[in-house]
Amino acid sequence: MNADNQDFKYTELTEAIIRIFYRVYNKLGYGFLEKVYENAI
């Protein structure tokens, strides 16, 4: 399986979710419980 394959069904949605997560993570920093990040998103 090639990880660079762009034929996945929800590629754009997955990338958007990951981008949002990293934006929140970079703003808050590390060490919080998952619920804190969930509420921030």
Q: What is the pLDDT of residue 8?
A: 73
Domain boundaries along the sequence of the chain: 12-40
Number of alpha carbons in the 13 Å side-chain half-sphere of residue 16:
4
The mean pLDDT value of the chain amounts to 85
- E strands of the chain, at which residues? none
The single-letter code of the amino acid at 26 is N
Residue 41: closest CA among 11, 22, 13: 22
Express each pLDDT in 18-33 by its tens digit: 999 999 999 988 998 9
Answer whether residue 4 shows pLDDT above 70.
no
